[in-house]
């Protein structure tokens, strides 16, 4: 029986864990910052905690999808962190589930006035969200050792890539992720298409989508410039091993390329010759929203923290140290930003980007497009069939959400 009493003791010890109550006001943030940005964020929070003795900020990383689900669960249960950091796509879902309160409850207009339109995300007329950056933009990344200068139009892209691919060591001119429709959007926009209309209805079964798909299929089958199969990791590895001369990928990936010894350059994804439209990626703001369960006593602490985390000073430091694009125009025009080549390349791409729609239907659009996009890329169905199925799938999913 001795083991049982030791066991009982253990249980007592364990239940005591986790309640370090020392009278300080606790503000918790769930975030999804990764890599260098996470390290920067952790330092910034540590500095904030060191400067304040009456409060403590605790941060917790969660992968985007989990962050959204757990935050909603927690908030509906009357709990959850005071602040949540993530991409602006989550805003309408948080607002619909009444998980967050308007950002104007916490931040005065005088503070928000300095932000540009990328920086404050609205849904149904209410501002819910304040950003510390805008980004997530796919960009054309090329290996400088294999191609000295990037193409600016799709016709020149095909010509240049054919020359590059003639070299033995290069297996493919270009590569990207074939499994996520997010990577297909640039081809759609420069073919004259877009995913939804003003009311949030999908607009995928049309000529523009067919043209976009056909263009991609031609790259693969007619010009043979891209791999027959690829997903995120295959594309990454091909580019890092210098077997692919260029890749379409976002800011989160770039540091990994220099680590792998690739001398890379950034350029806008080329424009389509026929329309002369730039192939525009989706861009989205990343920032903070306030949990609906935050009581009024804590509001002033949350206010103070948000001003610290999103104010001009922090945005300048972020631009300088981790090359994020500020959403305060004064900072964007400041010298540190203007002099930074990576930021400038980034900004040039963002200038032609399409903002991520805040409508909640966006999730059904991604989910509905994904399957047909994969079938198209694996050569199972034609461009027309692909466009038709995308529309059908999205419509079914949107109808389903109402039950």
Partner 1 sequence: MNASSFDSKRFLGRLGSYMVLLVFALIAVYPVTRILTISLRPGDRLLSTSLALFPDDATLENYRVLLFETPFLRWLFNSILVSLVVTVTGVAFASTAGYALSRFKFAGKGAMLSGLLVTQMFPATMLLLPLYVVLINLQLLNSYLGIIIIYTATALPFCVWQMKGYYDTIPYALEEAARIDGCTPWQAFYKVIFPLAAPALVITALFSFMTAWNEYVVANVVLQDTNLFTLPLGLKLFQGSLTTQWGLYAAGALLVSIPVVLLFLVLSRYLISGLTLGAVKG
Partner 2 sequence: MSEKTRFRLFLLFLLGPTIVLVLAVVAYPFFYNVVLSLSNMNIYHIRDWEVIGLQQYAAVAREPAFWSVFLKTIIWTGVNIVFHVGLGVFLAVLLHQKFIRGKSAWRVLLILPWALPQYITALTWRGMFTAEYGAIDIVWRQYLSLPAIEWLTQPGPAFAAAILTNIWLGFPFMMVIALGGLQSIPAELYEAADVDGASEWKKFWNITVPLLRPVMIPAITLGIVWTFNNINVVWLVSNGGEPNDQTHILVSYVYEAAFTMYRFGWAAALSMIIFFILFAFTQVLLKRTKATEAAY
| Chain residues in the site for partner 1 (CB under 8 A) | 3-4, 7, 10-11, 14-15, 17-19, 28, 32, 34-35, 58, 60-61, 63-66, 70, 73-74, 77-79, 81, 232-234, 236-237, 240-241, 250, 252-253, 256, 259-261
In terms of CB distance, is 81 or 193 closer to partner 1? 81
**Cβ neighbours around 14 below 10 Å, total:** 9
Using the rule CB under 8 A, is 64 a contact of partner 2? no
CB of 388 to partner 1, least distance (A): 29
Q: What does 145 bind: partner 2, partner 1, none (CB cut-off 5 to 8 Å by kind)?
A: none
In terms of CB distance, is 324 or 361 closer to partner 2? 361
Among 8, 64, 69, 117, binds partner 2 (CB under 8 A): 69
Written as six digits, the tokens of 330 are 């004064």
144, 265 in Cβ contact below 8 A? yes
Using the rule CB under 8 A, is 114 a contact of partner 2? no
Gap between the Cα atoms of 398 and 362, Å rounded:
10
Q: How many residues does the chain have?
A: 403
In terms of CB distance, is 236 or 271 closer to partner 1? 236
Q: At what angle are helices 362-377 and 383-400 packed, to 10 degrees?
A: 150
Using the rule CB under 8 A, is 397 a contact of partner 2? yes
| Beta strands 25-31; 354-355: pairing state | unpaired
Nearest to 257 by CA among 145, 157, 367: 145
Gap between the Cα atoms of 239 and 174, Å rounded:
9
Phi, psi dihedrals of residue 293, rounded to the nearest 5°: -85, 0
CB of 62 to partner 1, least distance (A): 8
Q: What does 37 bind: partner 1, partner 2, none (CB cut-off 5 to 8 Å by kind)?
A: none
Phi, psi dihedrals of residue 19, rounded to the nearest 5°: -120, 65
Q: What does 267 bind: partner 2, partner 1, none (CB cut-off 5 to 8 Å by kind)?
A: none
Phi, psi dihedrals of residue 22, rounded to the nearest 5°: -120, 20
156, 270 in Cβ contact below 8 A? yes
Phi, psi dihedrals of residue 394, rounded to the nearest 5°: -65, -45
CB of 84 to partner 1, least distance (A): 13
Q: Using DSSP, state whether 355 is helix, strand or coil.
A: strand
Q: What does 77 bind: partner 1, partner 2, none (CB cut-off 5 to 8 Å by kind)?
A: partner 1
Contacts 24+ apart (CB under 8 A), 73-81: 75/99, 75/100, 75/291, 75/292, 75/293, 78/293, 79/293, 80/30, 80/291, 80/293, 81/28, 81/29, 81/30, 81/291
Written as six digits, the tokens of 322 are 């981790």
CB of 43 to partner 2, least distance (A): 29
In terms of CB distance, is 124 or 367 closer to partner 1? 367
Using the rule CB under 8 A, is 320 a contact of partner 2? no
- Tell me the window of 13-21, 91-99, 280-288, 337-345 that interacts with partner 2 (CB under 8 A): 91-99
Q: What does 18 bind: partner 2, partner 1, none (CB cut-off 5 to 8 Å by kind)?
A: partner 1
Using the rule CB under 8 A, is 364 a contact of partner 2? yes
Using the rule CB under 8 A, is 363 a contact of partner 2? yes
Strand segments, DSSP code E, in 268-315 are 282-291
CB of 217 to partner 2, least distance (A): 14
Strand segments, DSSP code E, in 62-102 are 83-87, 100-101
Q: What does 10 bind: partner 1, partner 2, none (CB cut-off 5 to 8 Å by kind)?
A: partner 1
What radius of gyration do the chain's Cα atoms show?
24
Using the rule CB under 8 A, is 402 a contact of partner 2? yes
Q: What does 260 bind: partner 2, partner 1, none (CB cut-off 5 to 8 Å by kind)?
A: partner 1
Using the rule CB under 8 A, is 79 a contact of partner 2? no
> Can you give the binding site for partner 2, defined by CB under 8 A?
65, 69, 72, 76, 93, 96-98, 179, 227-231, 233-234, 237-238, 360, 363-364, 367, 370-372, 374-375, 377-378, 380, 397, 400-403
């Amino acid at each position: 029986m001795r083991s049982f009493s030791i066991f009982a003791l253990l249980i007592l010890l364990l239940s005591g864990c986790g309640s370090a109550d020392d009278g300080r006001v606790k503000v918790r943030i769930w975030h999804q910052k990764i890599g260098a940005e996470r390290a920067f964020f952790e330092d910034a929070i540590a500095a904030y905690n060191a400067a304040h003795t009456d409060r403590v900020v605790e941060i917790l990383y969660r992968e985007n999808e989990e962050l959204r689900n757990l935050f909603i669960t927690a908030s509906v249960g009357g709990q959850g962190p005071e602040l949540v950091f993530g991409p602006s796509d989550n805003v309408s879902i948080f607002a619909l589930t009444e998980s967050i309160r308007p950002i104007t409850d916490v931040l005065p207009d005088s503070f928000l006035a300095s932000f540009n339109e990328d920086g404050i995300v609205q849904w149904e007329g209410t501002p819910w969200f304040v950003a510390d950056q805008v980004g997530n933009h796919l960009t054309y990344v090329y290996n400088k050792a294999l191609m000295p200068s990037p193409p600016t139009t799709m016709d020149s892209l095909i010509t240049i890539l054919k020359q590059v691919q003639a070299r033995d060591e290069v297996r493919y001119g270009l590569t990207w992720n074939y499994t996520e429709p997010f990577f297909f959007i640039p081809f759609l926009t420069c073919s004259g298409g877009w995913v939804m209309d003003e009311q949030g209805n999908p607009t995928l079964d049309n000529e523009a989508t067919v043209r976009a798909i056909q263009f991609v299929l031609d790259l693969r089958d007619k010009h043979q410039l891209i791999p027959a199969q690829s997903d995120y990791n295959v594309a990454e590895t091909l580019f890092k091993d210098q077997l692919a001369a260029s890749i379409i990928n976002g800011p989160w990936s770039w540091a990994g390329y220099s680590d792998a010894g690739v001398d890379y350059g950034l350029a806008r994804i080329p424009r389509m010759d026929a329309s002369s439209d730039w192939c525009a990626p989706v861009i989205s703001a990343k920032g903070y929203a306030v949990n609906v369960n935050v009581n009024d006593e804590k509001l002033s602490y949350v206010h103070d923290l948000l001003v610290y985390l999103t104010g001009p000073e922090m945005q300048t430091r972020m631009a300088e140290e981790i090359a994020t694009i500020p959403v305060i125009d004064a900072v964007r025009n400041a010298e540190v930003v203007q002099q930074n080549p990576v930021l400038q390349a980034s900004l040039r791409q963002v200038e032609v980007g399409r903002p991520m729609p805040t409508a909640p239907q966006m999730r059904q659009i991604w989910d509905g497009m994904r399957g047909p996009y994969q079938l198209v890329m694996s050569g199972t169905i034609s461009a027309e069939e692909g466009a038709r199925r995308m529309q059908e799938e999205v419509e079914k999913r949107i109808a389903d959400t109402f039950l």
